[in-house]
Amino acid sequence: MGIPLVDSTHDPALRSWVASANAPGTDFPIQNLPFGILRTGGHARGGVAIGDEILDLPAALAAGLLAGDVARAAEAATGEALNPLLALGRPGLRVLRQRLSAILAEGSEDRAKAARCLVPMAEAELLLPMQVGNFTDFMASRYHTGRLGRRRDPQNPLPPSFLHLPIAYHSRATTVRVSGEPVARPHGQSAGPDGAPRFGPVQSLDFELEFGAVMGPANRLGEPIPVARAADSIVGYCLLNDWSARDVQRFEMMPLGPFLSKSLSTTISPWLVTADALAPFAAPAFAPLQGDPAPLPYLMDTDDQATGGLDVTLRVAVTTPRMRAEGAAPAIICTSSLRHLNWTFAQMVAHHTSNGCDLRIGDLLGSGTVSGPEPDGRACLAEVVMEDGGFTLPNGEKRVFLEDGDEVTFTGRAERPGRVPIGFGRCAARILPARPWPTA
């Protein structure tokens, strides 16, 4: 069952002896404790974010801070990817998270030992948290889908199946990259103004504000996962930018769907926020709008409808080279919420596996562009361009799609009155100019 499990690790009164973890705006209070891979001195290993610091898990093991099941879980996080830890599923991550909460809490008798296992986050390189097996990208916001569909059919902007199943395509795992790695403008084929094909640096480079779910132990080939069990197969969440070349996409995607317009690169945030850490932020699933058909029973579960959503606010900030030269603050160009997703992640997993397709540990599922109904909730530029032709930054600079040197940063906060908000870190990348086309 995907029953949210709220325990002492979520206590709003809990504070850490790591002072930066108690700062009001931090993404990483002691109630969060997300897992990632850090590298210092050429050595990559697992760690846990706490305030502005990272608790080095191999160091904590060596210091004798972890024993029994907890030590076994931490040992699974000593390598260069978290897949062995993810393989322990939610129960394995839970025992480790609970022990780490005790170690890092104010008044802990392990403080002195644990303090020697801290690495300042600013001094560490953060790597991709897991080796991504497969990457499936959904399209779960009716507001995103509807805005883009309006040009095709203003009366029926949603595709016929949208309200009956979570639409998705198989994207590319090898090009998933961690926040901070730049994205070079790719080359691609598209239709020129006269309709004749052209090939060159893409002209309509876009971001898509998405939320990613990371799979733990799920299913074997041929064994569907019912919605009621699906939430428990997800072990962590991250921010995800599904970079999109719109000019290439328009030309290539009929009738087999997006290909090179999407596989160019995907950026994810470096910290996996555990499903347990998000338990206090469980929310009802999207409430059907008037006239919506009821989905078929295999996609419906009472508990999932009551608690399968998440109260997470997402934001997109942009800086241009000129803004950085002028010392201007990043411009927030979108604020949205996971409440706008028409489908829960449990429904996505259930649908994905309904034909027996097996999901593997470390597989990544993207939510699709998390757009809301209001103009400030347009979560990719294609929607903005379609409605307004482009946008203007606070310093007067105009943009249609992204230009070389622009940097796009996603942030996210799980928030609920009476709870300590938790965040996801940054999902950021800068656009580099296209590389010269290789010569023979």
Picking from 83, 188, 179, the residue whose alpha carbon sits closest to that of residue 134 is: 83
27 binds Mn ion (CB under 5 A): no
Stretch that binds Mn ion, among 22-30, 55-63, 133-141, 266-274 (CB under 5 A): 133-141
DSSP-derived secondary structure for 191-259: E-TTS-EEEEE-S-EE-BEEEEEEE-S---TT----HHHHGGGEEEEEEEEE-EEHHHHHHH-TTT--S
Class of residue 287 by CB neighbours under 10 A (exposed 0-12, middle 13-18, buried 19+): exposed
Picking from 79, 1, 31, the residue whose alpha carbon sits closest to that of residue 362 is: 79
User: Out of 10, 43, 144, 187, which one is annotated catalytic?
Assistant: 144
How far does the chain reach from its first CA to its final CA, in angstroms? 57
CB of 150 to Mn ion, least distance (A): 18
CB neighbourhood size of 395 (10 A): 11
406 binds Mn ion (CB under 5 A): no
Binding mask 183-212 for Mn ion (x = CB under 5 A): -------------------------x----
Cβ 95 vs Cβ 117: under 8 Å = no
Residue 242 or 406: which CB sits closer to Mn ion?
A: 242
Residue 136 or 320: which CB sits closer to Mn ion?
A: 136
CB of 261 to Mn ion, least distance (A): 10
The pair phi, psi for residue 358, each rounded to 5°, is -90, 140
CB of 341 to Mn ion, least distance (A): 13
CB of 377 to Mn ion, least distance (A): 16
CB of 171 to Mn ion, least distance (A): 8
| Sign (positive or negative) of CA dihedral 203, 208, 214, 218 | negative
Helix H or strand E segment including 56: strand 53-56
Active site residue 144: yes
Residue 319 or 369: which CB sits closer to Mn ion?
A: 369
Binding mask 224-243 for Mn ion (x = CB under 5 A): ------------------x-
Residue 137 or 304: which CB sits closer to Mn ion?
A: 137
383 binds Mn ion (CB under 5 A): no
Q: Which residues bind Mn ion (CB under 5 A)?
A: 137, 208, 242
Q: Which residues are catalytic?
A: 144
